[in-house]
Amino acid sequence: MELGIILKNDELVVDSLTVAEVFEKEHKRVLRDIRYSISQIKNIEIDVSKIAPISDIDANDYFYEDSIRDSYGRKRKIYYMNQKGFTLLVMGYTGQRAFSYKVAYIEQFEEMKRSLQGQNREEMTQTQLLAYIKHYLAGSRVIVQPKDEEMYLDYYCVGIYSLLRYYGFKRSIPCSYIRELRPKVMEIGLAGFEEIVNYCAVKNKLKLAYVKATAQDFQASEVDQAQPPLFSILGLLDYWEEVAT
């Protein structure tokens, strides 16, 4: 069963509908439990004489409200929760099945956190970076119109993100930017996009706006290679280009 942990607003979260499904509970009960947890957080009193002082506790650091549309187009209220919120919510869920899924969630949260922390190239060796990219390419597929939370599963979105990171771009890459670039990258292929990113890196112009502008009217030219070609190193180009077509 999918656990439904996604990256949203730069934070790993899971929604209340998914938690209700996994733990086999009515969604209205999960919503009630979340609201109770929020009320308890707001009214919490801690005796700082017995523990180290802590900063102010905010329920928004655990849960936040949102909505989705159901199959009839109606809005349904949901909550997103991070690992702290999830842990707080499921403390009272008992039984062997509940325990098993608690452990599964904890492990997946931690694994995904390690992967995200590894996206900082300054903290990774070249070998680790390549392994990270290969891992996400291997699990990708082509999604017709990927939503923000599906981008890490889409072949072209993963490729765009990976190439920018591989060639040295360290700042945040918005989902909207990847979505705008994706049609062009689908047209020229990831090998073609790698030429563009390499060109920008060699010219010391590896900026999102410059990459996007260059991609619109790029003419191949003889420039140095800032990095060894990514797909040649991984040996994945032919295989994944075939899968994507």
* Phi-psi map region of 4: left, alpha, beta (phi>0 left; psi -120 to 50 alpha): left
Q: Are residues 99 and 144 in the same domain?
A: no
* Cβ proximity of 14 and 63 under 8 Å: no
Which tens digits make up the pLDDT trace of 56-93? Answer: 678 889 999 998 887 888 889 999 999 999 999 999 89
Confidence of residue 47 (pLDDT cuts 50, 70, 90): low
Which tens digits make up the pLDDT trace of 136-166? Answer: 888 889 998 888 778 888 999 999 998 998 8
Q: Are residues 179 and 197 in the same domain?
A: yes
Q: Are residues 90 and 173 in the same domain?
A: no
Residue 67 lies in a domain: yes
Q: Are residues 106 and 138 in the same domain?
A: no
* Cβ proximity of 22 and 31 under 8 Å: no
